[in-house]
Amino acid sequence: MKIAKVVVDVPASQTDKIFDYIIPEHLDSYIEVGMRVIVPFGPRTIMGYIIGMSDESNVKKLKPIKDLMDISPVLTPELIELGKWVADYTLSFYISAFQAMLPQALKATYHKSIERLADQFEDDQLNKLFDGRDEIDTQELLDVGFDMNRIKKAEDLGELKIVYHVGRKETYKKVSMIKRQMTEVEIDQYRAELSNRAKKRKEIVDYVAQLDEPITFKQLLNEMHTTRQTVQPLIQDGVVNIFEQEIYRNPNGNKQFEKTFPLPLADQQKQALTPIVDDLNRQRNNVYVLHGVTGSGKTEVYLQSIERAMQLGKEAIVLVPEISLTPQMVNRFKGRFGDEVAVMHSALSKGERFDEWRKVQNQEVKVVVGARSAIFAPFQNIGLIIIDEEHESSYKQEDHPRYHVKDVAIKRAETHMCPVILGSATPTLETYARAQKNVYQLLEMPDRMNQASMPEIHIADMREELHAGNRSMFSTMLVDKIRERIDRGEQVVLFLNRRGYSTFVMCRDCGEVKTCPHCAISLTYHQKHHLLKCHYCQHQEKMPSECPSCQSDSIRYFGTGTQKVEQAIEAVIPEAKVIRMDVDTTRRKGAHEKLLAQFQNKQANILLGTQMIAKGLDFPDVTLVGVLAADSLLNLPDFRSSERTFQLLTQVSGRAGRHELKGEVVIQTYSPEHYSIEYAKQYDYSGFFKKEMSLRKAFQYPPYFFMTLITVSHENPIRAEEVTRVITQLLEKHLSENSKLLGPTPSPLEKIKDRYRFQCMIKYKYEPEQKQVLKRILSYYEPMIQKEGLQIQIDLQPYQLM
Ligand SMILES: Nc1ncnc2c1ncn2[C@@H]1O[C@H](COP(=O)(O)OP(=O)(O)OP(=O)(O)O)[C@@H](O)[C@H]1O
Ligand SMILES: [Zn+2]
Ligand SMILES: [Zn+2]
């Protein structure tokens, strides 16, 4: 008897194991490890992944697999092992790990229906509902509000049964193709028999007579300037044959990518490339930290390393943060490697993403450029993994499974014996510290390309501006410099940090800030409908005309959204033409690209935007970058806020003066003396690194200590706190004395969607038992998680401490 080992699609502690199923004979010759299957599970029918096979089982009463969902495996043997490893290292379920590795389109859908077993129901309403039919969808019952207990009763009487269905979401795009069917001789004959009046038809016959390859039906209609009806008789008469062919959806439309060729490398680029190529040639597995200032030519090093990997017949994965997966970035890879590149990011539709993934699965591409989840690309012969902007916090998945892409990359690189490149102008402290200890290999590129110097950074002290009577959001210096650029026909990038700096509403008389009644965070003012909205839940309310607490009418919105900045610029500098880039203006597909193209064509002098313009952009005429409020990041309740401020300021400044023209930067702040601003001003990465490391050491933060964050949430705040307290006590008992436990405390975001949140933090150096203890705690609480809506999140490498 052949047995399949299956992980089932039920994310819960009790089902987080491997189940045995019999492989029925009729499936035996098709079935392979890594395929999706449909299996019975209790009374239900669900999807599962085959992760192994065997000839025997310890379980007595096994059920057979019902059906296969794939004709070729969706998981490679390597990915199955990787999935198990991810589940273990993030404390998540197997099923969650596997699903995170595959495109959304491969998730199963479920629905139930009711099948009639008796001719007549005792319950007359059921007779009416079924109306002679043998099967109806349960949705129909729910729609009319039918009492499910009555179904249960009829089921007990044996009158009906509930049937479970597993459906699929993936769809394949097809096009109609036309192929010549007759031989040349037959066609000549056919043509001769056509009446002289059928002029158009003769023309089409002539056209198809010389077709050797199939073409799309659409192409035929276009080239012949004709219609379906005119071609129809030719199909009927068997001159041509029409058939459906599957094609990949093409997210790039008809866009042509201009071919680029390897540039002769600068010395610093050569020095970086040499050891990488050496590793490629010898199949050595090193982790490189490519620390290169903005504009130092890191991308060219990536491109030439990939080229070498491809020459060796290998594949490459390039990870880019979601927000910098700009058309510019995609162009650079498509331009060099053309159709060998698949692109995966969230701006693609589900179908497009599925198709890009299938190009990898079908071994039709050699390179993947993508956001976080592209690390799971099903390549089988990886030669190189690159993580660009490795410091980006979006590389950490903040949902089950909470993996960091760097860990997965390093794991896969060990399996494939290949190098990893972590590139950044501002590596994380964790990464750089490892490079200093020679765990990773450090490659430095301290100079910009094109002999460009780093732009000079000026600090505008906004407190002084206020004292001098300037109440606007722009310092005098920034306004003057913007005017200068406009006069000279140069361009400006203005950056507004979105997080912590949205439009909140405050009373000038009493200081009251309007907050969400469900989430305890400030509401955001939306000008268009004059509404206050919460960014965590669905809550919205009208903008009040007077303060709810002191009735004063000087209630105003504060802080700034990009929209408000845009209006303010236009008020101060009427001749400025502004392109605004934020979530609102880039929602539509292709909008992002269009706006950047407009800026590139100099249809505007100012590009104003949020995080999405902080990286990757390379425009020769940008000579001024303005940071409107450097403080907003500094004041978040997070030990990494200084590091993030330093990184962001460095990145944004890097957008100026990248080519011949010299650049300048103006940073506006209320705390100019803060070290992260001062070091950013000097471009002093190593100074910042030393200072920040000493603070991390003093306060026992990473990279000196590891951290685990446990967040408990419940509708009842007392319950949430109580559970957090018990967990803290359990941990205290089981962890070593050297570890530190902080908590229970309310989370910085105390309430989200009407759930109260408490947390407890572990700081430790060495704690080999930790995972086991946490697993036991989770399974102890499992019944309460299932029944009373308790939630426990464990993050073994937290990046969001809110
Ligand atoms: N060897 C070279 N010769 C000439 N120009 C080069 C060379 N390498 C890179 N460049 C050019 O220098 C500019 C900066 O390079 P690139 O964008 O790769 O830098 P980067 O380090 O990736 O920057 P950032 O971190 O800011 O994204 C680009 O316009 C690029 O085309
Ligand atoms: Zn008030
Ligand atoms: Zn809310």
Mean pLDDT of the 237-241 span: 88
The Cα–Cα gap between 795 and 352 comes to 31
Where does the pLDDT of residue 320 fall: very low under 50, low under 70, confident under 90, or very high at 90 and above? very high
Task: Please tell me the pTM assigned to this model.
Answer: 0.85
Task: Write down the pLDDT at residue 151.
Answer: 86
Which atom of ligand 1 lies at the shortest distance from residue 389's CA? 25
Which CATH superfamily includes the segment(s) 267-397+405-450? P-loop containing nucleotide triphosphate hydrolases (3.40.50.300)
Q: What is the pLDDT of residues 51-99, one digit of tens each?
A: 999 998 888 889 999 999 999 999 999 999 999 999 999 999 999 999 9
Where does the pLDDT of residue 537 fall: very low under 50, low under 70, confident under 90, or very high at 90 and above? low
Is 547 annotated as a binding-site member? Answer: yes
Task: Write down the pLDDT at residue 379.
Answer: 97
Query: Which CATH code fits 3-102?
Result: 3.40.1440.60
Which atom of ligand 1 lies at the shortest distance from residue 269's CA? 1
Asked which of 288-292, 365-369, 581-585, 689-693 is least confident by mean pLDDT, the reply is 581-585
> Structure tokens of 467?
């004292």
Asked which of 47-61, 241-255, 507-521, 728-742 is least confident by mean pLDDT, the reply is 507-521
Considering only CA atoms, give the Rg of the chain: 31
Asked which of 336-345, 458-467, 524-533 is least confident by mean pLDDT, the reply is 524-533
Q: What is the pLDDT of residues 583-596, one digit of tens each?
A: 778 777 778 888 88
Query: Which CATH code fits 456-500+562-696?
Result: 3.40.50.300
CB-based burial label for 332 (10 Å; 0-12, 13-18, 19+): buried
* Percent above pLDDT 70 for the chain: 95
| Amino acid letter for position 37 | V
Distances in whole angstroms, Cα of residue 266 to Cα of each of 136, 154, 193, 271, 690? 70, 79, 71, 9, 29
**Residue bearing the bigger pLDDT, 418 or 322:** 418
**Residue bearing the bigger pLDDT, 43 or 800:** 43
ipTM here: 0.94
**Is the pLDDT reported for residue 501 higher than 50?**
no
Task: Write down the pLDDT at residue 382.
Answer: 98
Q: What is the pLDDT of residues 205-231, one digit of tens each?
A: 888 888 888 888 888 888 888 888 888
CB-based burial label for 671 (10 Å; 0-12, 13-18, 19+): middle
- Which ligand sits closest to the CA of 263? 1
Query: Which CATH code fits 706-795?
Result: 3.30.70.600
**Is the pLDDT reported for residue 502 higher than 50?**
no
Is 418 annotated as a binding-site member? Answer: no
Cα(683) to centroid of ligand 1, in Å?
18
Which atom of ligand 1 lies at the shortest distance from residue 423's CA? 25
Is 534 annotated as a binding-site member? Answer: yes
Nearest to 644 by CA among 608, 674, 604, 664: 674
**Is the pLDDT reported for residue 500 higher than 60?**
no
Is 738 within 8 Å of 751 (Cβ atoms)?
A: no
The neighbour count for residue 60, using CB atoms within 10 Å, is 5
Is 591 within 8 Å of 585 (Cβ atoms)?
A: yes
* Burial state string for 301-311 with b = 16 or more CB within 10 A and e = fewer than 16: bbbbbbbbbbe
The Cα–Cα gap between 481 and 382 comes to 49
Mean pLDDT of the 453-460 span: 90
> Which of 304, 444, 449 gets mutated to test ligand 1 (max ligand atoms within 8 A of its CB)?
449
Cα(551) to centroid of ligand 2, in Å?
6
DSSP per-residue codes, 129-193: HHTT-SEEEHHHHHHTT--HHHHHHHHHTTSEEEEEEEEE----EEEEEEEE-S-HHHHHHHHHH
> Which of 265, 270, 290, 299 gets mutated to test ligand 1 (max ligand atoms within 8 A of its CB)?
299
Task: Write down the pLDDT at residue 700.
Answer: 86
> Structure tokens of 489?
């026909």
* Percent above pLDDT 90 for the chain: 49
**Is the pLDDT reported for residue 242 higher than 70?**
yes
Cα(544) to centroid of ligand 2, in Å?
11
The neighbour count for residue 731, using CB atoms within 10 Å, is 21
CA quadruple 514, 516, 519, 523: dihedral sign: negative
Nearest to 649 by CA among 679, 687, 619: 679
Q: Average model confidence (pLDDT) for the chain?
A: 89
Is 379 within 8 Å of 82 (Cβ atoms)?
A: no
Asked which of 131-140, 467-476, 509-518 is least confident by mean pLDDT, the reply is 509-518
Ligand 3 ion: Cβ-proximal residues, 5 Å cutoff: 516, 518-519, 534, 536-537, 539
Strands 108-116 and 135-137: antiparallel
DSSP per-residue codes, 373-392: GGGG---SSEEEEEEETTT-
> Which residue CA neighbors atom 14 of ligand 1 most closely?
295
The neighbour count for residue 122, using CB atoms within 10 Å, is 12
The Cα–Cα gap between 471 and 533 comes to 26
| Amino acid letter for position 395 | Y
| Residue ranges around ligand 1 (CB below 6 Å) | 263-266, 269, 292, 294-300, 425, 449-450, 616, 618, 654, 658
Task: Write down the pLDDT at residue 473.
Answer: 85
Cα(254) to centroid of ligand 1, in Å?
27
The Cα–Cα gap between 755 and 713 comes to 6
Mean pLDDT of the 187-201 span: 84
Q: What is the pLDDT of residues 625-674, one digit of tens each?
A: 999 888 776 666 678 888 998 998 998 888 887 777 888 999 998 778 88
> Which residue CA neighbors atom 25 of ligand 1 most closely?
294
**Is the pLDDT reported for residue 324 higher than 70?**
no
